[in-house]
Amino acid sequence: MKRIKIILSFFCLATIAALQVKAQKRKDYPIVPVPFTHVHINDKFWAPKLMVNAKVTIPYIFRMCKENGRMNNFLLAAHTVTGGKLTQFTFDDTDVYKAIEGASYALQVERDFKLEMYIDSLISMIANAQEKDGYLYTFRTANIKPLHEWVGAKRWEKEEELSHELYNSGHLFEAAVAHYEATGKRNFLNIAIKNADLLATVFGPGKLQIYPGHQIVEIGLVKLYRVTGNQKYLDLAKFFLDVRGPNGDQYNQAHAKVVDQKTAVGHAVRATYMYTGMADVAALTGDAAYLNAIDNIWEDVVGKKLYITGGIGATGNGEAFGDAYQLPNMSAYAETCAAIANIYWNSRMFQLHGDSKYIDILERTLYNGLLSGVSLSGDRFFYPNPLASMHQHQRSGWFACACCISNMTRFLPSLPGYVYAHDGNNLYVNLFMANKADIKLNSTEVNVTQFTEYPWKGNIKIAINPVKSATFKVHLRIPGWATNTPVPGDLYSYLKAKDAPFKLLLNGKPINYQLVKGYAVIERRWQKDDQITLELPMDIHKVVANQKVKDDIGRFAFQKGPIVYCLEGPDNKDGQVQNIMVSKDANPNAYMNNAKLNGIEEILVDGIGTKRQVNTDELIQTNQKVVAIPYYAWANRGSSDMAVWIPYEVSAARPQAAPTIASKSKVSSSLNNPKLLQSINDQYEPADSKDTNYPYLHWWPKKNSTEFVQYDFANEETISQSNVYWYDDGPWGGCRIPLSYKIFYLKGEKWIPVEVINDTRIAKDKFNIVDFKPVSAKGIKLEIQLPVEQSSGIHEWKIK
pLDDT digits (tens, 9 = 90+) for 300-323: 999 999 999 999 999 888 899 999
pLDDT in tens, 29-50: 999 999 989 999 999 999 999 9
- The secondary structure of residue 30, as a DSSP letter, is S
Give CA angle at 611 (607, 615), nearest 5°.
150
Give the confidence band of 545 by pLDDT, cuts at 50, 70, 90: very high
Contact 683, 663 (CB under 8 A): yes
Distant-in-sequence, close-in-space partners of 556: CB < 8 Å, separation ≥ 6: 495, 542, 543, 544, 582, 584, 645, 646, 648
Of the two residues 4 and 332, the one the predictor is more confident about is 332
Contact 342, 365 (CB under 8 A): yes
- Of 630 and 22, the one with more pLDDT: 630
- Average pLDDT over every residue of 530-535: 97
State the average pLDDT over residues 21-27.
54
Return d(Cα 336, Cα 343) in angstroms, integer. Answer: 11
Cα 563 to Cα 549: distance, rounded to the nearest angstrom: 21
pLDDT of residue 16: 45
| Higher pLDDT pick, 393 / 123 | 123
As a whole number, mean pLDDT of residues 554-561 equals 97
Query: 662 or 348, which is more confident?
Result: 348
Sequence letter at residue 785: Q
Q: What fold characterizes domain 421-477+501-535?
A: Maltose phosphorylase, domain 3 (2.60.420)
Q: What pLDDT, on the 0 to 100 scale, is given for residue 744?
A: 96
| Dist CA 501 CA 589 (whole Å) | 20
Give the model's pLDDT for residue 23: 41
What's the predicted TM-score (pTM) here? 0.90
Residue 163: pLDDT above 80?
yes
pLDDT over threshold 80, residue 3: no
Q: Return the number of other C-beta atoms located less than 10 Å from residue 392's C-beta.
A: 16
Three-class SS state of 23 = helix
Query: 337, 407 in Cβ contact below 8 A?
Result: yes
- Which range has the worst mean pLDDT, 427-431, 510-514, 651-655? 651-655
**What pLDDT is attached to residue 116?**
93
493-520 pLDDT, tens digit per residue, is: 999 988 778 999 999 999 999 999 999 9
Tens of pLDDT, residue by residue over 382-421, are 989 999 998 888 899 998 888 989 999 999 999 999 999 9
Q: What value does the mean pLDDT take over residues 570-575?
A: 93
Q: Give bridge partners of residue 447 from the DSSP assignment.
A: 438, 465
Q: What pLDDT was estimated at residue 679?
A: 86
Q: What is the pLDDT of residue 6?
A: 35
pLDDT digits (tens, 9 = 90+) for 697-735: 999 999 999 999 999 998 899 999 999 999 998 887 889
Rounded to an integer, what distance in angstroms lies between the CA atom of residue 259 and that of residue 255? 11
- Asked whether the CA dihedral 290, 296, 301, 302 is positive or negative, the reply is positive
Helices H / strands E in the chain, number of each: 17, 32
Q: Which CATH class is domain 666-799?
A: mainly beta
CB 370 within 8 A of CB 335: no
**Rounded distance between C-alpha atoms, residue 582 and residue 572, angstroms:** 13
Alpha carbon of residue 288 to chain centroid: 29
10 confidence band (pLDDT: 50, 70, 90): very low
Q: What is the pLDDT of residue 393?
A: 84
* Mean residue pLDDT across the chain: 92
% helix, strand, coil for the chain, step of 5:
35, 25, 40
Identify which of 30, 273, 65 has the alpha carbon closest to the alpha carbon of residue 173.
273
| 25 pLDDT tier (thresholds 50, 70, 90) | low
d(CA 382, CA 726): 28
Q: State the CB neighbour count (10 A cutoff) for residue 451.
A: 16
Domain range annotation of the chain: 68-243, 421-477+501-535, 551-652, 666-799
Give the helix/strand (H/E) hosting 96. helix 93-109
Res. 13: pLDDT tops 60: no
Report d(CA 541, CA 734) in Å as an integer.
41
Q: What is the DSSP letter of 256?
A: S
Per-residue CA distances from 98 to 91, 420, 452, 750 (Å): 11, 24, 32, 57
Q: What number is the average pLDDT over the span 183-195?
A: 96
Q: Which amino acid is at 243?
A: V
**Three-class DSSP category at 75:** helix
Please give the pLDDT value at position 557: 98
d(CA 429, CA 311): 24
Beta bridge partners of 472: 524
Three-state SS letters, 392-442: CCCCECCCCCCHHHHHHHHHHHHHHHHCEEEECCEEEECCCCCEEEEEECC
Query: What's the rounded Cα separation, in Å, for the pair 91 and 166?
Result: 10
